[in-house]
Structure 1
């Protein structure tokens, strides 16, 4: 009797173990399935699929990989540019104004013709050209990151329109070694004489990520991307670009190289 009881007890324990084994196997399968789902989610967010944060880090990496003495200028956003009407197309004149300016307004019937034609107007004397000033001004090295680049440029263009000098735009950064080398040459007596004789120099900082100064650079040197500093751009008195070293490459940043450059475009 006792032996049958022992056998039944052992059979019950085996049955309970048989029930626990499938339950444990099911739990393990569930954990494996959850791990596979998590791995699939991570695969969807792999580095090959850029997100907002990964795009920003890619831009930082691209800037950090630039060659020494260069700066990355993002291209202009066309959607942010305001639509400006063209100033070249004059407004159509009214018919009455056209007849008046052309001298074709009809005279009333029976009116007497003019006795004598009006005397021709005296020709205006040509205005005397304003001589270029040659007063030497002290050269200030470096770039003022707090200065208003557009305001300085406007003042230089007004002065150029008055005295006929060229405008030299110098885009650079205080941390740029090439810019420091150019400043050293610009500060030398012989080069400073060339600057004062023929140019209004405007130094504009682009090393502090100033978006307003980037806009000025893109206006006169189109494109965007990587710029090797300093970027030297010569403008005529009306404000048209004569040369741009972003396109042509910088001259040698020596007294001979910059001197030749200044004499060529003066």
Structure 2
């Protein structure tokens, strides 16, 4: 009888280990450990780097559909468009006035391209996607490249790069060959993280600044998250800009 009782107690213990409560506790413990590892990875970042979380599939925007057809005109417009001509015997309208004499356009002054003043830092309130879209439209019109500069206002390397970009010779290279878009990734802006993930597939920790050159159609030509940053000096950044212009 003692043996039977012992076997029964062992069986009950096994069932308790397999119970839903035990499984849930184990899963919670595993999730807590995973979160702890991720939190530790964020706190151990090297200076001048930022952790970009992976994309959340549930938050991905819907794929844009084809352009919707133009709306039908109002009933009044359809009625007026299909109205029958005036009945016979009605008085004709006044004769159309003769066209005015064509004037020759005045000679215009030759167009000059203004050099854009370089603005250091990253605007955390700016719409990064809107700025990128505008740069791509301008690039499609003039054939320049688009330079994406992802960084943060607290990043020392970003400040060093800004200092060089603001120098006359480097700024001339930027204006002549690029449309510069500076995007803040230091304030945990999820929309800006999405732009970075779109053009740089490395993921994880990014050493700033991340410089990405796009062709006018929007194709990635180079990504310093993959290739490494050039020296953040006049010679280093100047060579980089000339290489991809």
Structure 1 length-normalised TM: 0.61
In structure 2, the residue matched to 1:196 is: 175
Task: Report Cα offsets for 1:105-154 as digits up to 9, x if no partner.
Answer: xxxxxxxxxxxxxxxxxxxxxxxxxxxx7531111100001100000000
Distance 1:84 1:145 in 2: 27
Aligned residue for 2:197? 218
Counterpart CA distance in 1 for 2:139 and 2:113 is 13
What does 1:47-86 align with in structure 2 at a 5 Å threshold? 49-52=29-32, 55-82=34-61, 84=63
* Cα displacement (A) at 1:56: 4.3
SS across alignment from 2:39 = helix
Is 1:185 the counterpart of 2:164? The answer is yes
Q: Deviations over 1:64-109 (max 9, x none)?
A: 101111110011123433563798xxxxxxxxxxxxxxxxxxxxxx
Q: CA deviation at 1:224?
A: 1.4
CA RMSD of aligned residues (A): 2.5
- Give the gaps of 5 or more residues in structure 2: 1-23, 67-111
Match of 1:152 in 2: 131
Tell me if the contact between 2:147 and 2:213 (Cα under 8 Å) persists in the aligned partners. yes
Residues 76 and 224 of structure 1 are in contact (CA less than 8 Å); yes or no, is this contact kept in structure 2? no
Q: State how many pairs are aligned.
A: 177
Runs of 5+ consecutive residues of structure 1 not aligned to the other structure: 1-43, 88-132
Larger radius of gyration: 1
